[in-house]
Amino acid sequence: MAEALAGAPALKETLGREGHAAARARGLVPALLLLHAGLGEGTAVRGAGGWVVAPARDIRRLWSGQGYVRLPAKDAAEATPAVLDGLGLTVLRCRTPGPVAAGPAYGAWLAALARTRLGHSRHLLDLAVAHLGRRTFDGAPLLHRQLVKGTLADAVVAHLETESALDGAASHLAALAEAHARITAVDRELVRLFGAGGFTADGPGRSAHASELLADVYAGGTPCTRTTSA
C-alpha cells in the first residue's frame, strides 16, 4: 500500500540546471546521481507504468509525485536491458500499486530530468564534434563535410529550441513529454555520426539508449523490450 504523503521531496529550483551542467561535463549517470540526491536517501521515482530507472544503489521506497510506496524486494523485479550492463543504472518493475505519477512536484522533477537529458545530448554533440574532427575522408576531416555540418547545425538548433521550451514548462506535462521526445530524436541522429562505433559496448549509443529509456519510463512510452531477468 502507498504510504501517507509526508510531503514531496524538497527539489531545488536549480536542480535541472545543475543536472544539465553535470550531464554535459561528466555524463548521464553522475547527473542522475545528483538528481536522485534531491529525492532523499533510498528514494527513486516510479513512472506511470510502475517502471523505475535509477542509479544502482539501495532503493527502499518509490515516489511518484503524489505519494510513496515502500519497496520490499519481493515486489520488484529487476529488468535491466543487457545494453546497460556496467553503466551504473538499475531498471525495476514494481508490482505494488501506488499513487499515479502526476502532480506539480512530479512535473518539476520531469522538467529537471529533461534539462539533464538535454545536457547529456549536448555532451553527445561535444563528443561527436571531437570524433569527426579526428576522422578524415579524402584527406579532409569528416567535420568539414556538408552533410555532417548540416546534422550538427540541426542538433544545435534543436537543443536551443528545447531549452527555450523548458522554461516554465514544469506545470505542463504534455510540453515536457514533447521536449523529451525532441531530445530523443536529436540523440539518435548524433549517435549515427559515430558510425558503427556509436553502437559498440563502450560507445555513446549506450548512454543515449539509457537517456531514451528515461523518457519512455517517465514521460510516456513503452520501456524495456529486452531484459536480462524478469
Q: Would you place residue 3 in the very low, low, confident or very high pLDDT band (cuts 50, 70, 90)?
A: low
What is the pairing mode between strands 89-94 and 51-55? antiparallel
What CATH architecture is 104-219?
A: Up-down Bundle (1.20)
69 backbone dihedrals φ, ψ, rounded to 5°:
-130, 130
For the stretch 71-119, pLDDT in tens is 875 677 888 888 898 999 999 988 878 888 888 889 999 999 999 999 9
Q: Would you place residue 144 in the very low, low, confident or very high pLDDT band (cuts 50, 70, 90)?
A: confident
Average model confidence (pLDDT) across the chain: 87
Highest average pLDDT, of 105-114, 118-127, 145-154, comes from 118-127
pTM of the model: 0.89
pLDDT value of residue 7? 63
Domain ranges of the chain: 2-94, 104-219
Highest average pLDDT, of 83-92, 115-124, 173-182, comes from 115-124
- Percent of all residues in the chain with a pLDDT value above 70, rounded to a whole number: 91
pLDDT value of residue 73? 59
Q: How many CB atoms lie within 10 A of CB 142?
A: 17
E-strand stretches of 88-145: 89-94, 136-137, 140-141
Residue 47, pLDDT > 70, answer yes
Output DSSP code: residue 54. Answer: E
Residue 53, pLDDT > 70, answer yes
Query: Three-class SS of residue 61?
Result: strand
Highest average pLDDT, of 18-27, 53-62, 87-96, comes from 18-27
Q: Would you place residue 171 in the very low, low, confident or very high pLDDT band (cuts 50, 70, 90)?
A: confident
pLDDT value of residue 23? 98
pLDDT value of residue 98? 81
pLDDT value of residue 128? 95
Residue 186, pLDDT > 60, answer yes
Residue 29, pLDDT > 70, answer yes
How many residues can be counted in the chain?
A: 230
72 backbone dihedrals φ, ψ, rounded to 5°:
-65, 145
Q: Would you place residue 6 in the very low, low, confident or very high pLDDT band (cuts 50, 70, 90)?
A: low
What is the pairing mode between strands 68-70 and 2-3? antiparallel
